[in-house]
Amino acid sequence: NAGVTQTPKFQVLKTGQSMTLQCAQDMNHEYMSWYRQDPGMGLRLIHYSVGAGITDQGEVPNGYNVSRSTTEDFPLRLLSAAPSQTSVYFCASSYGGRAGETQYFGPGTRLLVL
């Protein structure tokens, strides 16, 4: 099993550009989530999904869109990148539908918005 994979590893964007961060898991997990990590702020939840076709907002959803058309994939879209979105982004998944279950994280995508 590859676990949770994220692409790309690193990306530089200009303000106003759009892009999609990819996340995939091969563990048949129902719950998937996106976090951003900023210095001193820990990890903050952006969006999550409890199953295919179901998504919901987390703590910091503004500026991001998600969709969950399959169990395996959970892409995160930045519609118009802003410097405030410079961060490290982590995707995670867990077997059940609850956030308290052990979550498996991907290696992260480092995003720089100029």
Q: Which residues bind other proteins (CB under 8 A)?
A: 4, 31, 33, 35, 40-45, 48, 50, 56, 58-59, 90, 92, 97-100, 102-108
Whether omega for the bond prior to residue 8 falls within 30 degrees of 0, making it cis, is: yes
* Closest CA relative to residue 3, chosen from 101, 113, 104: 104
Tell me whether residue 42 or residue 62 sits nearer to other proteins (CB atom). Answer: 42
85 φψ region: left (φ > 0), alpha (ψ -120 to 50), beta (else): alpha
Instruction: Find out whether 105 and 84 touch, Cβ atoms under 8 Å.
Output: no
Q: How far is the CB of 106 from other proteins (least distance, A)?
A: 5
Q: How far is the CB of 38 from other proteins (least distance, A)?
A: 9
Tell me whether residue 19 or residue 50 sits nearer to other proteins (CB atom). Answer: 50
Tell me whether residue 17 or residue 44 sits nearer to other proteins (CB atom). Answer: 44
Q: Which residue has the tokens 């058309």?
A: 69
Tell me whether residue 35 or residue 85 sits nearer to other proteins (CB atom). Answer: 35
In sequence order, what are the beta bridge partners of 31? 94
Q: How far is the CB of 42 from other proteins (least distance, A)?
A: 4
